[in-house]
Amino acid sequence: MLDKTKRGWWKSAVFYQIYPKSFQDTDGDGIGDIPGIISRLDYLEKLGIDGIWLSPVYDSPQADNGYDISDYEAIWPPFGSMADMERLIAEAKKRGISIIMDLVLNHSSDEHLWFKQALRGRNAPCHDYYIWRDGGPDTPPNDLRATFGGPAWEYVPALGQWYFHQFAVKQPDLNWANPELRRALYHMIRFWVDKGVEGFRLDVIDNIGKEPDNRITARGPKLHEYIRELSREAFREEGLVTVGEAWSADVEEAGSYSDPDGRELSMVFQFEHNFVDCAPGGDKWDLAPLDLPKLKRCVERWQKGLYGRGWNSLFWDNHDLPRIVSRWGDDSRYRVESAKMLAAALHGLQGTPYIYQGEEIGMTNIRLPIGEYEDIETRNLYRERMAQGRAEADVMASIYARSRDNARTPMQWDGGPNAGFTAGTPWFAVNPNYTDINAEAALDDPESIFYFYQRLIALRKTHPVFRDGDFTLLDPENEQVFAYTRETGDERLLVVCNFTGETVSWRIPPDFEGGQPLIANYPAQAKGTLRPYECFMLRRGGRR
Ligand code: TEU
């Protein structure tokens, strides 16, 4: 059992992300809820995870599925009550599972009481909790664009002012330059610590130091000053695990975010690897084939760059990303082999792994008619690109490949109606492949992806090399195989992953010949070749 009062316990942990709206409904309204999560804790305990990153469950008008919070200290009623939340924290703790709440500190909902007060006048209470600029209705302060499309400034005629919103119009940015606002946020965080929450995921934390007048939206000059104050004032207990979402982070800066002295955070989610299949100079919607050597160099940079000076998070999936088995594996013929291979490639690395709901059973992307997409980012993208005159087939190809809705189809529990997610009408489309891909079938199959993840988690807890080992990339320019070694003391680990659907030739390094097999997705390795999406791990030295 991990001592979760001590800094660094998360270095031996594996976390699981739950997107509550799509996890498990218990009251038939078609929306996942907190009692549903409680009903699935035994499943998560069986998997072997140590903590749950819970996407927002706070009160919200749901303009961005809860990332637009209207009351940080209340639960959105369709998710349940505060008593349900307290029961979840207690029931999870009984199973050795920490609750890590998702904190959205960069912006609130425009339906938050603070913003409602702010709208009452330039001198109203909380007006300066937000970012306002004077101006006429036709002259926004500048031409900064919002992440979800359109201008980043919204005009309020009654005030003769514009407010800044990095995301949706209904998500006004909070003004971190205002110490009163910062204190209000710290007070809110302590409310959740006092309820027994043992960690926090910090939404777009790299945006809180923004200076929109200077066109700086991420990595502002005061960012790390604010994060150190946040850490001192709100994350006082050294056992609190904190992970910041930092799309702009590079490995140099990540060393500051996650420095061993703990002045800032435990780790960050960085996204450099998320662009190795995007067209040069494009964004996530501009598709390109996976450049495996580029991915390997990126992993190497982060593994070596943070070794001994910071800490990596390890993820392929989350609620904003397409399903990895569809993206970099094969979600048809070799779905099981490639899902296991991708898991091995990630879980052999140094860092804290995060498993996104459904990843452990190989859930896949979905293709829908454009009218059935729910995600604000996807809908705005479609409108924007169609207005630009792009071919609809190209726009839809980007949406099929990269829409955040790929990750938001309801969790597939069994082969029954709505995949066992709800007895009602699901809020969002259930992937029709649930009849084959579901947790019940996985639990009945000893060779399932679920049990592969379960074994990987157990291996990480058994052999110190997974947590402490350094990283050496093998065969950097090989475009088919990702292979690397880890080493600590006399213990060595070899991880080999064929990222293609072809049989390729590849030789085990002589010093690993006869190594202890730890895990593989095919029966005994064939000499000198790797089968489609074949992966395996071998170990040498260390205690048996
Ligand atoms: O995401 C930050 C963010 O920028 C991503 O939405 C990213 O822009 C997009 O997914 C990639 O194209 C965080 C949350 O994870 C996301 O769900 C929220 O929508 C967003 O912040 C606003 O809170």
Per-10-residue mean pLDDT of the chain, 544 residues long, equals: 93 98 98 98 98 98 98 98 98 98 98 98 96 96 96 98 98 98 98 98 98 96 98 96 98 92 94 96 95 98 97 98 98 98 98 98 98 97 97 98 98 98 98 98 98 98 98 98 97 98 96 96 89 98 77
What's the predicted TM-score (pTM) here? 0.98
Tell me the CA–centroid distance for residue 320 and ligand 1, in Å.
6
Which atom of ligand 1 is nearest the CA belonging to 64?
19
Residue 526's pLDDT is 78
Active site residues: 203, 245
Going from the N-terminus, what domains does the chain have, and what CATH number goes with each?
Answer: 9-106+179-454 (3.20.20.80), 113-164 (3.90.400.10), 469-541 (2.60.40.1180)
Residue 544's pLDDT is 63
Tell me the CA–centroid distance for residue 377 and ligand 1, in Å.
9
DSSP 499: -
Dihedral, CA of residue 290, residue 293, residue 297 and residue 299, to nearest 10:
50
**Mutate-to-test residue for ligand 1 from 204, 315, 404, highest number of ligand atoms within 8 A of CB:** 204
Residue 1's pLDDT is 81
Q: C-alpha angle with apex 505: 503 to 510, nearest 5 degrees?
A: 140
Residue 543's pLDDT is 73
Whether 176 is in the pocket of ligand 1, judged by its Cβ within 6 Å, is: no
Contact indicator for 189, 198 with CB cutoff of 8 Å: no
**What ranges in 278-333 are assigned the alpha helix state H?**
292-306, 324-327
Q: Which residue has the CA at smallest separation from atom 20 of ligand 1?
A: 67
Rg from Cα positions in the chain: 23
The per-residue pLDDT for range 333-351, each reduced to its tens digit, is: 999 999 999 999 999 999 9
Residue 349 CA: distances (Å) to CA of 196, 449, 493: 30, 19, 10
Whether 21 is in the pocket of ligand 1, judged by its Cβ within 6 Å, is: no
Cα 42 from chain centroid (whole Å): 22
Residue 22's pLDDT is 98
Q: What is the DSSP string of 38-80?
A: HHTHHHHHHHT-SEEEE---EE---TTTTSS-SEEEEE-GGG-
Tell me the CA–centroid distance for residue 103 and ligand 1, in Å.
13
